[in-house]
Chain A
């Protein structure tokens, strides 16, 4: 079954404590992306990756890092989380035209 998995699904943390949200896909897609979703703002692209070792900034990259060492994995790293990064995060794996979204990670930064 085509799938995008994210972990953890829920996370409450404190300001400044580094965290990583993992994302994995089983569709052999080259293109993957991270979004955050906030009320009234919709999905905003944080970072994307066109292939292994190729990443680029989206519209809201500040405060985030990514890496793409393997095709199937695309982790999102928050080196020093702040309360304004409290949001719902989605990873997407992009086929020819369709995006396959993960189930989401709800992050709260206190």
Chain B
């Protein structure tokens, strides 16, 4: 079955730096990948989507890439702020199914 991995359970960075989170998938490429933010005790909130045939998408301080050769998506937050501290989830669409990674807990230190 399809599996999505996020290779960092936790990531600490200094305020102002760029945070880079990694998402890897096994076997087949999803039709698209989504990135979500989840705060403690809350449901995930959609951030960005990138399709299989797209290389890069941007939204304000966020950037996501999709490399089907490496079977990998990278999620960047530039000029990070303490308010960006949260868990970030990567999810892939496979037809009617969605498969999510376990998430990366980002802490931005002031």
Residues of chain A having any CB pair with chain B under 8 Å: 4, 33, 35, 40-45, 48, 50, 56, 58-59, 90, 97-104
Contact = CB atoms under 8 A, between A and B. Distances in A.
Contacts of A41: 102
Enumerate the 3 nearest inter-chain pairs by beta-carbon distance, A residue then B residue, closest first: A101-B43, A42-B102, A43-B100
Interface stretch (B12-20, B44-52, B59-67, B74-82): B44-52
Contacts, number: 55
A58 B97 contact: yes
Q: Which of B32, B43, B103 has the most CB of A within 10 A?
A: B43
Contact of A90 (B4, B6, B44, B99): B44
Contact of A98 (B42, B49, B89, B101): B49
Nearest to B93: A97
26 contacts: A33-B98, A40-B9, A40-B102, A41-B102, A42-B4, A42-B101, A42-B102, A42-B103, A43-B44, A43-B98, A43-B100, A44-B100, A45-B98, A45-B99, A48-B97, A50-B96, A59-B97, A59-B99, A90-B43, A98-B34, A98-B46, A100-B46, A101-B45, A102-B43, A104-B41, A104-B42
